A and B are shown apart, each in its own frame.
Chain A
């Protein structure tokens, strides 16, 4: 049957273009995900593992090997002694320790904090790459990293001062080494010293984080020798790993043990593949329906059932292989392009590398092929069941009734109900894991039931929209002519749209809920704290007036902060007080109930403890008023503050309270903060407050939303290819019917419009149903996640959701262009002539 299958693919190549595209995109997604993973590893190895990336082995004290039940266990400290011992092992060529002592380096102009590392010319120079000069050999010689040497304007031959825990000495710079790309180190100037000098500086405490080792000949022999050495010296908690393994361990430590990025991406890749699978099922269903007579003829001529099935499966296999290969190539090209782009845009990330491993290339191909073949096996089984007699029966192109399997309906209902129950429970209880599980169960359940409501919705809405137009009515009828096909096509799109709209609604609700809770907590929009300046209220007021003239600022007032002790609580930290001028303060504060009167103290964040009516603060008795708003200091009037005995005059500082204009966008607020920092000549972190925090949260949520939407857009794209695919196959199937309509007086334009309407109906209704589901899931999910945090404020991003609908409809329209063209191009006579 192989030649029949291949001949079929050749003959019907055009029918497979869309499915190849869909499978290729799905596979590309998976391959890109895995390439991101390997490239991240390689990039991290290039940076985190910069110190030992060229080495063979790394020995280090490993906390995981410390026995938990032995409190007297003696931790190993790897010191110069061990390094010396290891160097003597015959299996080892070089070994050096890495450790960083701190010191200060002085040039003629300035002083810098530096890290000191021992280096030895015979031992790989401590992993450093010399760019210029030579290794330090004498006690007064050092090497320095190039970036910092540049900044310090130091070059080979210069003399610098070096202060260490031991002494201050003049040192001669004899070499420049490449700056480490390890983000943990690259921020510091790195000074390499001869080992003997370093040992003196480090003294007894001089132990190494790692001993980096190169094998002489064979790696296993070196590993064995090291294991024997550490065992002999009772150093049970020392691990020896290859450099690669060590980097992976370092990365895992940084990323909390799991590779979360990859896991998240894999979830999206899975969604894309499920959608792709639906497109494949549909394609093969249609192709086989069109080939009923042909397949039945093969049966009549003596083909066995199995042969029919394998012929279909071989076609799927070939398509899977071709499409997966294209997909992987696409992913590699994409990743390479992205990394090139990164190199050009961000030169400092030049250590970012594209890394591909065999696994990352083979898995997507295997998954792509398996997915295609598995998805095609259902239609193949249907083809197998064809009776030889079907070849002789005229093909009935009218509606095909396909009933959903009873089992599927039952499982669907069970899943949907169980999931809905869990979802409701999770939402009410404010438990995300339960709600998540509910979503995980109910969504597949609803998808299994899709055949019950999707065709009905499509037809209902189609009839409603069509009105009196014949083409519209025919479009509505055609759209549900084969309910199974319509359901699968719509479901593919529905999955993507549901997920996109769910995160949109969830994100928006999260944003507005945080907004509400922050607005409730922060009584002041913006607080500028001049921590580093002595209190000079006159100057601060001048600054406040200057700030008030900025666009986006409505009012400003000044404050003076100080600390004072509370009588009877001298053992506690002194209370932090903010002295405000009540008149100005009442203009800038959002909550008038916290404007203090003379002799009054407004206390915040007092927890649950009962507050006395009066407190003696800084030697004066004050009336106490408690508020739940969020300010870091308790409020008094400036006059009151002046009358108090303050605890520590060094902790006094002034500042400005700012009321921002309403309706500022996040970008406006970020810009405003920068502007204020500029005018006040302070760092922007000294400006805090409700709107800043809100803008920050909003921005984080927006970025997350954008990323997730972009990832899900892949699934939506595949689904839309599916719509185009189904439509063009349907057009082929209905060639005669369309020709008849043309003969009877349907204009070309009407024919194209009819097909466009069909596509828009399927796409639009799928998107609409997806939006409804997404809104429900989004609101419940947001409630489950956030109701514990504070008061919820539900908000639905109508505009964004409308945009999703419009995009789906426009994309469906576009999807109908090619099939519509092809249908309209055919003359009625040609169409009627085709069998």
Chain B
């Protein structure tokens, strides 16, 4: 997975030499140990690993939510490490979409306003046709005027996916996007995410600990102790479970 020889354009997100540690001296934890990773465009990648493997830290750094100690992160041709807070914010607004595990929506505004939030923050108007495509694909047309607390958990996550897709970002990050959903609703949301890579060409990177969720991805990256230790293409629940079990050994 070294990216030195690969042309940038093939990859939506590309990181080199990513290092991050928490704490000092005796309490020091190395969350990322010189990670080199690249994510191909229009692919759905899942990052898996046991607790404390550094998968969330990797995603937060890649998404510009957290800053790494060293290395470089290229999204849309720009190195995130060289950006100040405002530039990073603009980056998140325009190039990156998010689906979090919970508390995805601003509770005071309705579903439509939530979906449009990144665009409104940028002061941009939305592409009406694309908006219709997205909300129809996610089955949200009837729910647009609902406040978040009037929506079910699955509907809330679908609104979050719609919001992430609407800006046509370089990449959408999912942080356990189905962690709070029952399996049927979770499957629905995951299918929608896979469809968006297949049909809309959206790059998605998702962190999860659930083999069933990971099986929806095109590729699974395995992490342990702050390093990427393996990769599975076209994963199934069985192959993922097996790979995880071998990690634990």
Pair B93/A744 contact, Cβ less than 8 Å = yes
Say yes or no: is A381 at the interface (Cβ < 8 Å to chain B).
no
Residues of B close to A468: CB separation below 8 A: 123
Closest A residue by C-beta to B109: A477
Q: In residues 115-169 of chain B, which contact A (Cβ within 8 Å)?
A: 117-118, 120-123, 147-149, 163
B25 at the interface (CB under 8 A from A): no
Establish whether residues B117 and A744, one from each chain, have CB atoms under 8 Å apart when the complex forms.
yes
- Bound-state Cα–Cα, A793 to B103, Å: 60
- Are the CB atoms of A741 and B65 closer together than 8 Å? no
When distances are taken between beta carbons in the complex, the residues of chain A under 8 Å from B93 are: 744-745
A745 pairs with B100, CB closer than 8 A: no
| Minimum Cβ distance to chain B for residue A32 (Å) | 43
Is A343's CB within 8 Å of the partner chain B?
Answer: no
Q: By the criterion CB–CB under 8 Å, are A746 and B89 in contact?
A: yes
Question: Contacting B65 at CB < 8 Å: which of A396, A474, A737, A743?
Answer: A743
Asked whether any CB of chain B lies closer than 8 Å to the CB of A752, the reply is no
Indicate if the CB atoms of B106 and A745 lie closer than 8 Å.
no
Shortest A294–chain B CB gap in Å is 19
Tally of contacts, chain A with chain B, CB under 8 A: 77
Structural contact, A745 and B94, CB atoms closer than 8 A: yes
- Point out the residue from B65, B94, B147 that lies within 8 Å of A827, measured CB to CB: B65
| B92 and A744 contact, CB distance less than 8 A | yes
Knowing A398-B148, A398-B149 are in contact, say whether A740-B106 is a contact too (CB < 8 A): yes
Residue A749 lies at the interface, judged by CB distance under 8 Å to chain B: yes
Report A397 CB to chain B, min CB distance, Å: 5
Within 8 A of B (CB), among A459-482: 468, 470-471, 473-474, 477-478, 481
| B residues 66-110 in Cβ contact with A at 8 Å | 66, 85-86, 89-90, 92-94, 98, 100, 102-109
Asked if B103 and A832 sit within 8 Å, CB to CB, the answer is yes
Q: How many residues of chain B have a CB within 8 Å of chain A?
A: 31
- Please report the C-alpha to C-alpha distance between residue A478 and residue B94 in the assembled complex, in whole angstroms: 25
Alpha-carbon separation in the docked complex, A736 to B101 (Å): 12
Task: Among A741, A744, A750, find the residue whose CB has the most chain B CB atoms closer than 10 A.
Answer: A744
Q: Are B108 and A481 in contact (CB under 8 A)?
A: yes
Q: Is B60 an interface residue when CB atoms closer than 8 A count as contact?
A: yes
The residue in chain B whose Cβ has the minimal distance to the Cβ of A827 is B66
Establish whether residues A737 and B103, one from each chain, have CB atoms under 8 Å apart when the complex forms: yes
Which residues of A sit under 8 angstroms from B65, Cβ to Cβ? 743, 827-829, 832
Contact present for A748 and B89 (CB under 8 Å): yes
* Nearest chain A CB to B64 CB, angstrom units: 9
Q: Nearest chain-A residue to B98 (Cβ)?
A: A743
Bound form: Cα–Cα A422–B120 in Å: 52
Q: Which residues of A contact B149 (CB under 8 A)?
A: 396, 398
| CB-based contact A740/B86 at 8 Å | no
Docked CA distance A745–B92 (Å): 5
B105 cross-chain contacts in A, Cβ below 8 A: 740
Interface of A is mostly: helix
Cα-based distance from A750 to B93 in the complex (angstroms): 13
**A445–B180 Cα gap in the complex (Å)?**
48
Whether B86 lies near A747 (C-beta < 8 A) is yes
Is A511 located at the chain interface by the 8 A CB criterion? no
Residues of B near A478 (CB, < 8 A) are 108
- Given A740-B106, A745-B94, A829-B66, the answer on whether A470 and B147 have CB atoms closer than 8 Å is no
Cα(A18)–Cα(B50), bound, Å: 44
In the complex, residue of chain B having the shortest beta-carbon distance to the beta carbon of A746: B121
- Contact between A396 and B94 (Cβ–Cβ < 8 Å)? no
| A749 partner residues in chain B, CB cutoff 8 A | 86
In the complex, per-residue mask of B225-249: 1 if CB is within 8 Å of any chain A CB, else 0: 0000000000000000000000000
> Which of A742, A827, A832 has the most chain B CB atoms inside 10 A of its CB?
A832
CA distance A525 to B86 in the complex (A): 66
**Which residue of chain A is the closest to B150 with respect to CB atoms?**
A398
Contact A470 B121, beta carbon cutoff 8 Å: yes
Which A707-762 residues have a C-beta within 8 angstroms of B?
A: 736-737, 740-750
- What is the CB-to-nearest-CB distance from B229 to chain A, in angstroms, rounded to a whole number? 24
Tell me which of A477, A746, A832 contacts B100 (CB under 8 A). Answer: A832
Determine if A737 and B66 form an interchain contact, defined as CB atoms under 8 angstroms apart.
no
Quick check: is A399 within 8 A (CB to CB) of the other chain? yes
B residues less than 8 Å from A473 (CB atoms): 109
CB distance from A477 to the nearest CB of B (A): 4
User: Closest residue of chain A to B94, judged by CB?
Assistant: A745
Contact B104 A745 (CB under 8 A): no
- Asked whether, in the complex, the Cβ of A398 is within 8 Å of the Cβ of B103, the reply is no
Whether A474 pairs with B109 at a CB distance below 8 angstroms is: yes
List residues of A (778-835) whose CB comes within 8 Å of B's CBs: 827-829, 832
Q: A824 → chain B, closest Cβ, in Å?
A: 9
B104–A740 touching, CB < 8 Å: yes
State the CA gap A750–B121 with chains docked (Å). 9
Chain A residues in 8 Å Cβ range of B66: 827, 829
Contacts of B100 in A (CB 8 A): 740, 743, 832
With A396-B149, A478-B108, A829-B65: A745-B121 Cβ-Cβ less than 8 Å:
yes
Give min CB distance, B177 to chain A, whole Å.
Answer: 14
The answer to whether B118 and A745 touch across the interface, beta carbons within 8 angstroms, is: yes
From B60, B85, B86, B103, give the contact of A736 (CB < 8 A): B103
Q: In the docked arrangement, what's the CA distance between A61 and B85, Å?
A: 85
Kindly identify which residue among B60, B94, B103, B107 contacts A829, using a CB–CB cutoff of 8 Å.
B60
Chain B hits for A736, CB < 8 A: 103
**Distance between Cα atoms of A832 and B107 in the complex (Å):** 15
Q: How far is the CB of A478 from chain B (nearest CB, A)?
A: 6
> Contacts A396-B149, A470-B117, A829-B66 known; A748 to B106 CB distance under 8 Å?
no
Instruction: Give the residues in chain A near B117, CB-CB below 8 Å.
Output: 470, 741, 744
A396 in complex: contacting residue of B60, B92, B107, CB < 8 Å? B107
- Considering residues A397, A470, A478, which has the most beta carbons from chain B within 10 angstroms of its beta carbon? A470
Q: Which residue from A737, A747, A829 sits with its C-beta under 8 Å from B106?
A: A737
Please measure, in the bound complex, the distance between the C-alpha atom of A803 and the C-alpha atom of B93, giving whole angstroms. Answer: 40
Q: Chain B contacts of A474 at CB under 8 A?
A: 106, 108-109
* B98: chain A residues within 8 A (beta carbon): 743-744
Nearest CB of A to B203, in Å = 18
Complex Cα–Cα for A496 and B118 (A): 41
Cα–Cα, bound, A828→B92 (Å): 11
A744 surroundings in chain B (CB, below 8 A): 92-93, 98, 117-118, 121, 163
Cβ contact within 8 Å between A397 and B89: no
**Alpha-carbon distance between A396 and B147 when the two chains are bound, in angstroms:** 12
Chain A to chain B contacts (Cβ below 8 Å), 25 pairs: A470-B117, A474-B109, A477-B108, A481-B108, A737-B106, A737-B107, A740-B100, A740-B103, A741-B106, A741-B121, A743-B63, A743-B98, A744-B98, A744-B118, A744-B121, A745-B89, A745-B90, A747-B86, A748-B85, A750-B121, A827-B65, A828-B65, A829-B60, A832-B100, A832-B103
For the complex of A and B, the 8 pairs showing the least CB-CB separation, nearest first, are A745-B93, A398-B107, A477-B108, A470-B120, A747-B89, A829-B66, A745-B121, A829-B65
Given A394-B102, A468-B123, A741-B121, 14 more pairs with CB closer than 8 A = A396-B107, A398-B107, A471-B121, A477-B109, A736-B103, A737-B106, A740-B103, A745-B89, A745-B93, A747-B89, A750-B121, A828-B65, A829-B60, A832-B103
